[in-house]
Amino acid sequence: MTLRPETRARARALQLLYAWEIDGRSPVEELMPGIARITGSPSGILVEAVTLAAGVVERRAEIDEAFSRAASNWRIERLALVDRNILRLAVFELLSGSVPPKVVIDEALYLAHRFGGVQSASFVNGVLDTVARTLGRL
């Protein structure tokens, strides 16, 4: 199965965000060479991944606030690292309004199935549905 470049960029952005949290929050641009070396992704995909990840980092407080309200029984710091960053990436795209909300949610579910735990996809789906409705995007 060949993935669309946008899907591959989101997967690399997720990996950058994961590395960003593990590394102590270095600028994502500094983490890109390591991700490039590991994944062998074309430069266009990596540029888009850095753009997405940097946007998430820049708007992290706003993003975390948006999905914290939707996941009211979950403290953000207690979420699995992968799930937290899938949600951040998707909420960033929902807030930006540049991608249709159903596409954002479908892409997040793909990432959750691929990189998350057994229950990640259902959790991510529920939170993003609530966030999208709260933002008036669904």
110-127 pLDDT, tens per residue? 999 999 999 999 999 999
Q: Does domain 59-138 have CATH number 1.10.940.10?
A: yes
pTM of the model: 0.91
Q: Confidence class of residue 23 from pLDDT cuts 50, 70 and 90?
A: confident
Structure tokens at 45: 């995909």
Contacts for 39-48: CB closer than 8 Å, 24+ residues apart: 39/12, 39/15, 41/8, 41/12, 44/5, 45/5, 45/8, 45/9, 45/12, 46/9, 46/12, 48/5, 48/6, 48/9, 48/12, 48/13
**What are the extents of the domains in the chain?**
1-58, 59-138
